[in-house]
Amino acid sequence: MRHLTACFLTTTLLAGPAFAQALEKDELKLGFIKLTDMAPLAVAYEKGYFLDEGLFVTLEAQANWKVLLDGVIGGQLDGAHMLAGQPLAATIGYGTEAHIITPFSMDLNGNGITVSNDVWQAMKPHVATGEDGKPQHPIGAEALGPVVAEFKQAGKPFNMGMVFPVSTHNYELRYWLAAGGLNPGFYTPGDTSGQIGADVLLSVTPPPQMPATMEAGTIDGYSVGEPWNQQAVVKGIGVPVVTDYEIWKNNPEKVFGITDAFAEEYPNTTVALTKALIRAAIWLDENDNANREEAVEMLARPEYVGADRDVIAASMTGTFEYEKGDVREVPDFNVFFRYNATYPYYSDAVWYLTQMRRWGQIAQPRDDAWFDSTARSVYRPDIYLKAARLLVDEGLAQEGDFPWDSDGYKEPTPAADIIDGIAYDGRTPNAYIDSLPIGLKSNEVAGG
C-alpha cells in the first residue's frame, strides 16, 4: 500500500501554499479494486497530478466492491474507483442507500466473458470460422445455447460468475446471454438472487478470484475486467469468447464515485480531484497510447493490480488474446480519454438504469422523466466541465477535447454497434426497454 506522508515535506513547496488555502480538504484516501481500469488513479498518483493540485492522496486496494462502497458511504474513503451501477443503485436505494455522485467516468470497454476449456470445446462446433480457420468474432451466446441445454439434460446447473449485482459485468453478461436467446434470470423484491427463471445461473465472485474459482469447477465461465480474462489464457484454464467492445462498441465502464455530501462540503477539492484524473486519462491515451508500456509497469506493482506484467500488457497495449496464440488487434479495448470517455454522460447512466429495470432490480414501472432526473442526480458533468475549463486555461488540456455544448446525451448508439442489432437512445428509455426481446417490459412489475 502506498502512502504520500513520507514525501509530504518535499512536495509542499511544489504544491504551493495557495493550493492548500483554496482546498477545503487536502489529505484524501481513495479506494480501488485490483483491475487495470483503476489506472487513472495510479497515474494521477505516480505522475504527480494529485500533488500538482495540492492533494496528498493515499490509494488503498479494497477487498471487494461492497467493502469499497461501504467505505465511501461511511467516510473511511473519500472517494473510489466504482462500478458505474454503484452510485446509481445506492442513490435509488437498491441495496445500501446513499446519495453517491460521479464527476468523472473512468474508461470505456475493458471487460470480457471467459468460459472454461471444457465449455469452449463444446461451443466450438457451433462457432463459425474464417478462411484462416480461426473463430469469427464476435461470438454470440447462440453458440453457448447447446452447451447449456446439455447441462440441463444431465441435471446440472450452468453457473457463471460476475463481480457484483449492479456491475457492468452483470449487465453485459446478461445482455450477451439474452442476445443469444438465453434467459439470465430475474430479480424481485423478495428474491435478490437474480436467478428466477434462469437458463444460466449468475453469482458474485470477486475479480481476482475468478480464474481459480473456474479452475476449481465452481463456475463454468465468468464476466470480468482485465487482467483476469487474460489470466485464464496464460494459465491455460479458459478462453475469452467475447469482449464488451464486441457486445457494445465503446460502452461506458467504471466511474469515480464520491458522496454528494463530500462534493457539497468540499467543492474545490472535488474539482481538484477531477482535474488530476482528467490529466491522468489524457496521459494514458495521448500519442496513440504511447504511454501504455509505462502504465503497464505501474499497474503490475503489487500495490496496484499486482498481476504479471505480460498479462496486463496483453490487453492494455492494443491487443487481446483469445485462445492461446490467437492474438488480435483491439486498439480500443481500453479507452481512457478519447471519444469523450471521461465525460459523465446522462445517457450512460440511463443505460444502466434500463438494465436494472429490465431484470427486475427496479421492480416498478418508471416514466422517461424518472430515468432522466435520476441520471442528473448522480452524473455531474457540471463539475467535470469546471475542472476541464481550468485545465484548458492552465494549458494542460486542449479546448477541442471536451464536449462543452453537450446536453448530457450521446447520439443514439446505432444497431450495428451492439451485438443484438438493437439501437440504444438514452432519451427514450422505455421504448428501448420494450425493444429488447428478453426481459421485463416497461409496464410490467417484477414478480407480478
The candidate with the shortest Cα–Cα distance to 138, out of 146, 149, 147, 127, is 127
In angstroms, rounded to a whole number, what is the distance separating the alpha carbons of residues 89 and 171? 13
335 touches 342 (CB < 8 A): no
Mean pLDDT, all residues of the chain: 94
Q: Are strands 79-82 and 100-105 parallel, antiparallel or unpaired?
A: unpaired
Q: Domain-by-domain residue ranges, the chain? A: 5-109+253-319+333-344+380-410, 111-251
- pLDDT given at position 135: 96
pLDDT tens column, 321-330 = 999 999 999 9
**Separation CA 141–CA 127 (nearest Å):** 10
Would you say 98 and 215 are in contact if contact means Cβ atoms under 8 Å apart? no
d(CA 167, CA 172): 9
Q: What percentage of the chain carries pLDDT values higher than 90?
A: 93
58 CB-near residues (< 8 Å, 6+ apart): 1, 2, 3, 4, 5, 28, 29, 30
Q: Which of 5-19, 142-156, 177-191, 411-425 has the lowest mean pLDDT?
A: 5-19
What residues contact 424, with CB distance under 8 A and at least 6 apart? 248, 351, 412, 413, 418, 432
Please check the confidence at residue 189 and state whether its pLDDT lies above 70: yes
Is pLDDT of 18 > 90?
A: no
Contacts of 263 (CB under 8 A, 6+ apart): 101, 103, 270, 380, 383
CATH number, span 111-251: 3.40.190.10
Q: In angstroms, rounded to a whole number, what is the distance separating the alpha carbons of residues 128 and 126?
A: 7
289-299 average pLDDT score: 97
Q: What confidence tens digit (pLDDT) does each residue in 135-154 have? A: 999 999 999 999 999 999 99
pLDDT tens by residue, 228-273: 999 999 999 999 999 999 999 999 999 999 999 999 999 999 999 9
| Residue 295: φ, ψ to 5° | -65, -40
Among 280, 283, 275, 284, smallest CA distance to 385 is for: 275
Q: Under CATH, which number does the domain 5-109+253-319+333-344+380-410 receive?
A: 3.40.190.10
Contacts 24+ apart (CB under 8 A), 297-302: 298/39, 298/42, 298/43, 298/46, 299/36, 299/38, 299/39, 299/42
Give CA–CA dist 234/66, Å, rounded: 29
Tens-place pLDDT, residues 352-379:
999 999 999 999 999 999 999 999 999 9
Asked if 305 contacts 212 with a C-beta cutoff of 8 angstroms, the reply is no
d(CA 2, CA 303): 7
8 A C-beta contact, residue 231 and residue 211 = yes
- What pLDDT does residue 397 have? 98
Q: Let me know: does 224 contact 77? Beta carbons within 8 Å.
A: no
For residue 2, pLDDT beyond 50? no
